[in-house]
Amino acid sequence: MLLFLIGLFFGIISGMGIGGGTVLIPALVFLAGLSQHAAQGINLVAFFPTAILAIFLHVKNGYIKYRMAIYLFLAGAIGAFLGAELAVITSSEILKRLFGIFLLVMGIYEFVRSGKK
């Protein structure tokens, strides 16, 4: 039941375009006891169907700028390959710390940015 609830919350957050991995990865590591590598791998597998459904709805509503999306897709594919290669040779403990630092920096950025509006 715990994994179902984690997956449900991940799907809702992913569908909104917020980044479900920010919820799924820590939940799998801290609540389900998985390694950082396994959690990141599961995140990638779980991301695919949710992304397809979200893309369908965003295309239907006319929110996609195709020219920009192509450039981001190409750069993202290259970055994903390089990041996956780097993750394979990095220890789970270091990955966990880097992910935590990333979430902290993004959280601070969002907090500071929201105060400027």
All structural domains of the chain with their residue ranges:
2-115
Over residues 79-102, mean pLDDT = 92
Cα–Cα distance measured from residue 29 to residue 96, given in angstroms and rounded to the nearest whole number: 9
Question: Among all chains, which residue has been given the structure tokens 């990141």?
Answer: 40
- Output the pTM of the full model: 0.69
Does pLDDT of 115 surpass 80? no
pLDDT-derived band at 19 (thresholds 50, 70, 90) equals confident
Buried b / exposed e over 14-38, threshold 16 CB at 10 Å, is beeeeebbbbbbbbbbeeeebebee
Over residues 30-47, mean pLDDT = 90
pLDDT per residue as tens digits for the range 49-87: 888 888 899 999 999 999 999 999 999 999 999 999 999
Residue 101: its pLDDT value, please?
Answer: 92
Residue 22: its pLDDT value, please?
Answer: 83
Residue 82: its pLDDT value, please?
Answer: 95
Cα–Cα distance measured from residue 106 to residue 117, given in angstroms and rounded to the nearest whole number: 17
Closest CA to 24 of 46, 54, 52: 46
Residue 17: its pLDDT value, please?
Answer: 66
Give 33's DSSP letter.
-
Given a contact cutoff of 8 angstroms between Cβ atoms, the answer to whether 33 and 8 are in contact is no
Over residues 3-25, mean pLDDT = 80
